[in-house]
Every structure is written in C-alpha cells, then in structure tokens.
Amino acid sequence: MKRVVRILGEILLLAACAFYLFPVYMVFVNSFKNRQELYENMLALPGKFTKEYYVTAMEKMRFLKAFSNSLIVTIISIAIIVVLASMTAWMLVRTNDKLSKTLFMIFVATMLIPFQTIMMPLMQVMGWVRNNLHIPMLESLGGLIYMNVGFGASMAVFLYHGFIKSIPVSLEEAATIDGCNKFGVFSKIVFPMLKPTTVTVIILDVIWIWNDYLLPSLVLSGEKLRTIPLSTASFFGQFTIQWNLAMAGLMLTIIPVIIFYLCAQKYIIKGVAAGALK
C-alpha cells in the first residue's frame, strides 16, 4: 500500500513537471522549424537545428543592445538601492527618536501603494523636472534607474531594518571608541554583517527590475534604450504571425534567466523565502 502511494506521488510530481516544462519545450522546438514544418506538427522535434531564426530574431530585437540596457539598469539600480537603503536603515535603527520612527513608518506604509496609483502623476513630475530643471529624467536609463531606486527603497529599508535590529551594538561602540567615524563603522563593521539581507535584497530586486515592463514602457520609448521586456513587446507587436521567429526571440529572453537561475539557485530560493516571510 505504502509503495503504491509513493509511486503515485512520483508520477503525480513528474506529471506536474511535464506540465510545467511543456510550454518551454514548445517554444524550444518551434524556434527551429520553418513555417510549413511548424504547422504540420507543432509537438514534434524539429528536423534540423538551425540558428537561422535566432540570428534574425537577434537582429530584429536588437537583442544585444536590449540585453546590455537591461544589465546596466538592473546592476546600477540594485547597487544604489543596497548602499542607500542599508545606510538609511542603520541610522534609523541606531537613532531611536521620533523622526526615525516616523520615517520608517512612512517607508512601510507606502508599500501599500500600487504602481498604477502613482504612474501618471510620476510621469508629470518627471516631465516637469525635465522641462524646468533640464535633467533628463524621461527617455534616459538614468531616469529609469532613479525611479527604480525610489520604488525599491521601501522594501529594502524594511528588510535591512529588521535584520539590523537583531545585531548587538557593542561591536559598533568598540569601534567608535577606537576612533572610527560613523562612515568607518558602517562600511567596515556593519555592512559586512548585513550580507544575508543584502543577498535577499539583490535577488528580489533582480527578479523585479529585470522583468519590469510597465515603468520602463512609460519612461523609455526610443528603440536604442529598450530593455529586454520592451524589445520583446515591440517584437511581438510586429511578428505575431511568424511564430518561428517569435519563438526564437522568446528563447533568447529565457536563456539568460535560466542560466542565472541554475548558477544561483540556492541563493535565489533562500532569498525569495526570506523576503516573503519578513
């Protein structure tokens, strides 16, 4: 009886995996087929593996440009979020006064605001800044990075705040007595200790910023500045009928994610779990 249940469990789980893999399999096999082959049998393996559609899709999507844009935006946004949020959270925890408590409350409370509620006025504000202060907040990767930092602030401060509360002050005090200033204490003693939370913040923000579509679509419209989701969206707008090209394009966007996942799987799963439980 127990063995039957167990085998049933194995089969169930394998079936779930097959169901999960099926769409990716479909994208994969059809990215190699020509039009006729594709409509003859979509489920079958391709007759031959050709890189033809990948090359075309890469050109049409300006894939390398989009990839490097995505990389720039993701890395710089996250670097700034990690540095500024950890600094802020540390000061807020270690300075126990009304101002700190209020600021922290505001950070947490704004996590309730959905993006749709701010998107239109945000574009107005950034348009105003561009027109009157001549800082290119729109149509620039810098502007997108700035806004990512603003949107990522709350959660990062919240996660760091919770962790810093649990580490004792004594080490920091000892360093202060030894003549370290606040910046030295933070960069040499506190920041290295925050590593677990930093990993969590990085993982959660990579998933968010790399895949973010709505904000970049409002900020960037130029072809040269497109991130991967934007170039995928415009590519699909043009080529919906040519499924083989479209599939090759999709495969191109999935591959980096899968590589990232397989390399950092342990951290990703830990980070996602830690981020949710806080």
Partner 1 sequence: MKRKSDKAWYALFVLPLVFVFTTVVIIPFFIGIGYSFISWDGMPLNKKTFVGFSNYIQLFSDKNFISSAGHTLLFTVAAVLIINILGLAFALLVTGKLKVRNIARTMLFMPYLIGGLILGYIWQFIFTDVFKSIGETTGLTNIFFSWLLDPKFSLFALIIVATWQMAGYIMIIYITGIQAIPEDVVEAAQVDGANFWQTLFRIKFPLIMPSFTICLFMTLSNCFKIYDVNVSLTKGGPNRATEMLAMNIYNEIFSLNHYGYGQAKAIIFFVVVAVITLIQVSITKKKEVVM
User: Does 24 contact partner 1 by CB under 8 A?
Assistant: yes
Among 61, 82, 92, 155, binds partner 1 (CB under 8 A): 92
**How many amino acids of this chain bind partner 1 (CB under 8 A)?**
87
Q: Please name the residues in contact with 63: beta carbons below 8 A apart, sequence gap of 6 or more.
A: 57, 231, 249, 252
57, 82, 153, 164: which one binds partner 1 (CB under 8 A):
153
Among residues 55, 68, 79, 110, the one that binds partner 1 under rule CB under 8 A: 110
The reply on whether position 220 binds partner 1 by CB under 8 A is no
**Between residue 46 and residue 75, which ones bind partner 1 under the rule CB under 8 A?**
none
Task: For residue 133, state whether it binds partner 1 (rule: CB under 8 A).
Answer: no
The interface region with partner 1, picked from 49-57, 60-68, 192-200, 254-262 by CB under 8 A, is: 254-262
Answer for which of 79, 171, 263, 269 binds partner 1 (CB under 8 A) is: 269
**Among positions 64, 169, 236, 238, the unique one binding partner 1 when judged by CB under 8 A:** 236
Q: Is 253 in the site for partner 1 (CB under 8 A)?
A: yes
- Considering the complex, what minimum distance in angstroms separates the CB of residue 43 from partner 1? 8
Q: Is 161 in contact with 95 (CB distance < 8 Å)?
A: no
- Which one among 55, 64, 79, 106 touches partner 1, defined by CB under 8 A? 106
Q: Is 169 in the site for partner 1 (CB under 8 A)?
A: no
